[in-house]
């Protein structure tokens, strides 16, 4: 969600959205890094589904 919102903000700002003068660039970079470190959204959905269902994977 954060990546989508910051990407939309960058689109609204145009080229300025990519400059370090605007906080949107930092927010977008942080959101992308968080996605990389935490795993893809598909993996996160799988982890959440397993936690909800009580399914254990060894």
Instruction: Give per-residue pLDDT as tens, 5-39.
Output: 999 999 999 988 889 999 999 999 999 888 777 77
Cα distance between residue 47 and residue 39, in whole Å = 10
Give 58's pLDDT tier (boundaries 50, 70, 90).
Answer: low
Any idea which residues carry the catalytic annotation? 38
Tokens 């060894």 belong to which residue?
Answer: 58
Q: For residue 40, which phi and psi values (nearest 5 degrees)?
A: -65, 160
The pLDDT value recorded for residue 57 is 60
């Amino acid at each position: 969600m954060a990546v989508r919102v910051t990407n939309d903000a960058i689109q609204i700002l145009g080229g300025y959205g990519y400059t370090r003068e605007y906080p949107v660039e930092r927010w977008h970079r942080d959101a992308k890094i968080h996605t990389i470190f935490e795993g893809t959204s598909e993996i996160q959905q799988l982890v959440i589904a397993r936690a909800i269902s009580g399914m254990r994977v060894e």
